[in-house]
Amino acid sequence: MRFATVKRVEQQDVQATHRIRAELMTQRTAKANQIRGLVAEYGLVTAKHLSSLRGVGPMTSTAMIATVGDARQYQKSRQMAAAIGITPKQHSSGDRDRLLGISKRGDVYLRTLMIHGARAVVARAKHKDDRLSRWVTNIANKKHPNVAAVALANKTARMAWAMLRHETDYDPDFAIEEESMYGHSVRPESVKLNGS
C-alpha cells in the first residue's frame, strides 16, 4: 500500500486555486451552452450572423439584437451608433467643427462589450495585413489604442446596422471604405476619448 505525503500549506493553496479554476471553466461552458440554447429557442439566428464581425462574439451579438432589434428604427447608421453611445460629441459653430469625446449615452452594457471587443481586435491587428487591420493600426499609431478601439467599435456598429437593416452579409473589403453605399462615413480622426 502506497501512502501520499502530507502536502505543505502552499501546495494545498495552489491545488485549491487549480480546482477553483477548473470549476469556473465548467460553469463558463455550461453558461455558454445555456445561451446557445436560448438563442436557438428564440430564433436569434441574426445574432449568429452578427458574430462574423470582428470583435463581436455571442455576448455582443445577442446584446445588440436585444437592444436594437432589426435596426429599422434608425434611418442612418450614425443614429444607431449614437444610440449605443460611441459617436463623438459635437460642439460646432459657424464653419468650424469641434468633435469631443464619445457621448457615452445609450446602452452602457452594449457599448462596453463593443469597445472591449474592439480592443481585442486592435491588439491583434498589428500582426495582420488586411485593410481593416492596417486602418485600425494606423489610428492606434497616430492617436492612441483606445481611440482606435472606439473608432473600430463605431465602425462595427455601423456595419451591424447595414447587416441588420439590409439583411446583408459581412464584407471585409466594404468595412474600410470611407463612404458607404448608404452615404455615411466613419471619420476615425474625429473620435476621441474624454480626457485624451
Average pLDDT of the chain to the nearest whole number: 79
Q: What would the pLDDT profile of 88-121 be if each residue is shown by its tens digit? A: 766 566 676 655 567 667 788 999 999 999 999 9
Mean pLDDT of 156-163: 90
Mean pLDDT of 35-48: 68
Percentage of the chain surpassing pLDDT 90?
30
Under a CB-based contact definition with an 8 Å cutoff, are residues 80 and 74 in contact?
yes
pLDDT on residue 69: 82
pLDDT on residue 82: 87
Q: What would the pLDDT profile of 132-143 be if each residue is shown by its tens digit? A: 899 999 999 998
Phi, psi angle pair for 102, to nearest 5°:
-65, 155
pLDDT on residue 164: 87
30 and 50 together in one domain? no
| pLDDT tier at 35, thresholds 50, 70, 90 | confident
> Residues near 135 by Cβ (< 8 Å), separated by ≥ 6?
176, 188
Determine, yes or no, domain membership for 123: yes
36 and 117 together in one domain? no
What single string gives the DSSP state of each residue in the chain?
A: ---PPPPPHHHHHHHHHHHHHHHHHHHHHHHHHHHHHHHHHTT-HHHHHHTTSTT--HHHHHHHHHHHTTSTT-SSHHHHHHHHT-SEEE--BTTB--EEEE---S-HHHHHHHHHHHHHHHHHHTT--SHHHHHHHHHHHHS-HHHHHHHHHHHHHHHHHHHHHHT----TTGGG-SB-TTS-B--GGG-B-TT-
80 and 16 together in one domain? no
Q: What would the pLDDT profile of 6-24 be if each residue is shown by its tens digit? A: 888 999 999 999 999 999 9
Dihedral sign of CA atoms 120, 121, 126, 128 in order: positive
Q: What would the pLDDT profile of 43-61 be if each residue is shown by its tens digit? A: 566 677 888 899 999 889 8
Under a CB-based contact definition with an 8 Å cutoff, are residues 89 and 102 in contact?
yes
59 and 74 together in one domain? yes
Q: What is the pTM of this model?
A: 0.65
pLDDT on residue 182: 32
Structural domains in the chain (count) = 2
Determine, yes or no, domain membership for 195: no
Residue ranges making up the domain that contains 36: 1-43
Output the nine-digit C-alpha cell for 90: 459635437
